[in-house]
C-alpha cells in the first residue's frame, strides 16, 4: 500500500508544471531572491546591474570599496547603473546632483564627492549650497547650479523611487542583477566582505553558465 501511494505521489509531481517549482535558478549560485514579476535577461556577454543606493547610507558608502574588486573580477563584463534613493528625512537633492553630473560625464566623481561630504566632512548634503560647491570643484559650473536649483532632475529622482517600489526594495544597497536577481547585505548581517564575495559568486555563476 505504501509503495502504491509513493508511486502515485511521484506521478503527480511529474505531471505538475515546471512553474510549480519556481524559485531560485539552480544554475545561479549564491544568496539572492528572484523579484516576482520581473524577467531575467542575459545576452551571454554583459551582466547588467542596477545598484539602488542612498547617499545617506553608511552601508552604501562602505560598499564603494568593494565595487572595484567586483568589477576587477569581470573586466568589461559588467554594466552598472546607479539609482540613488532617499528615505525618511533625507533629501532628493544629492540624487538630483548625481544625475546632473552623470549627464555631464562626471557621475562617478560626483558620487564619491557626495559620500565624502556626508561621511568624512560631515556636511549637510541636502543643502543646495554644499552640492553647488562640490559641483564647482568638479568643474560643472553655473549650468549645474541652475539646473539643481530648478529641480531639473527631480522627475528622475522620483522615478528611481518608483523603480525601488517595483523591485520591492527593502534596504540599500540592493543590487538587481540581469533584471530579477536581487541581492543585499541583510543575509550577511551587513558584512561588506561577505556581501562582496556573494556578489562575485552570483556573477561568476552567470558568466560560466552562459
Report the relative pairing of strands 181-184 and 78-84 from DSSP bridges. unpaired
**Domains: count for the chain:** 1
Taking the whole predicted model, whether its pTM rises above 0.75 is answered as yes
Average pLDDT (107-116) is 98
- Whether 21 is covered by a domain: the verdict is no
- Whether 16 is covered by a domain: the verdict is no
- Whether 71 is covered by a domain: the verdict is yes
- Whether 184 is covered by a domain: the verdict is yes
User: What pLDDT was estimated at residue 210?
Assistant: 58
The alpha carbon of 94 is separated from its chain's Cα centroid by a whole number of angstroms, namely 17
Whether the Cβ atoms of residue 153 and residue 26 lie closer than 8 Å to each other = no
pLDDT in tens, 114-169: 999 999 999 999 999 999 999 999 999 899 999 999 999 999 999 999 999 999 99
- Distance between CA 31 and CA 49 in Å, rounded? 16
Strand order in the sheet with 47-53: 33-34, 181-184, 174-177, 47-53, 78-84
- Distance between CA 80 and CA 189 in Å, rounded? 24
- Whether 1 is covered by a domain: the verdict is no
Question: Which residues span the domain enclosing 77?
Answer: 34-208
- Whether 15 is covered by a domain: the verdict is no
- Distance between CA 131 and CA 145 in Å, rounded? 8
Report the relative pairing of strands 47-53 and 33-34 from DSSP bridges. unpaired
- Whether 83 is covered by a domain: the verdict is yes
- Distance between CA 27 and CA 209 in Å, rounded? 7
Which CATH number belongs to the domain containing residue 101 in this structure?
Answer: 3.40.30.10
User: What pLDDT was estimated at residue 73?
Assistant: 96
Nearest alpha-carbon partner for 64 in 118, 26, 130:
118
- Whether 166 is covered by a domain: the verdict is yes
User: What pLDDT was estimated at residue 26?
Assistant: 64
Amino acid at each position: 500500500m505504501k509503495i502504491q501511494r509513493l508511486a502515485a505521489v511521484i506521478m503527480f509531481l511529474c505531471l505538475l508544471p515546471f512553474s510549480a517549482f519556481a524559485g531560485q535558478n539552480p544554475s545561479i549560485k549564491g544568496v539572492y531572491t528572484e523579484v516576482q514579476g520581473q524577467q531575467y535577461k542575459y545576452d551571454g556577454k554583459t551582466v547588467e546591474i542596477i545598484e539602488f543606493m542612498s547617499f545617506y547610507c553608511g552601508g552604501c558608502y562602505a560598499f564603494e570599496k568593494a565595487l572595484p574588486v567586483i568589477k576587477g573580477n569581470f573586466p568589461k563584463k559588467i554594466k552598472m547603473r546607479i539609482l540613488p534613493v532617499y528615505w525618511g528625512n533625507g533629501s532628493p537633492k544629492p540624487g538630483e546632483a548625481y544625475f546632473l553630473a552623470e549627464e555631464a560625464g562626471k557621475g562617478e566623481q560626483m558620487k564619491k564627492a557626495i559620500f565624502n561630504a556626508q561621511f568624512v566632512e560631515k556636511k549637510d548634503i541636502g543643502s543646495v549650497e554644499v552640492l553647488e560647491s562640490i559641483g564647482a570643484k568638479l568643474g560643472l559650473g553655473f549650468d549645474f547650479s541652475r539646473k539643481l536649483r530648478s529641480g531639473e532632475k527631480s522627475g528622475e529622482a522620483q522615478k528611481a523611487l518608483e523603480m525601488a517600489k517595483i523591485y520591492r526594495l527593502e534596504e540599500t544597497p540592493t543590487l538587481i542583477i540581469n533584471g530579477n536577481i536581487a541581492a543585499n547585505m541583510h543575509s550577511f548581517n551587513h558584512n561588506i566582505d561577505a556581501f562582496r564575495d556573494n556578489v562575485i559568486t552570483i556573477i561568476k555563476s552567470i558568466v560560466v553558465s552562459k
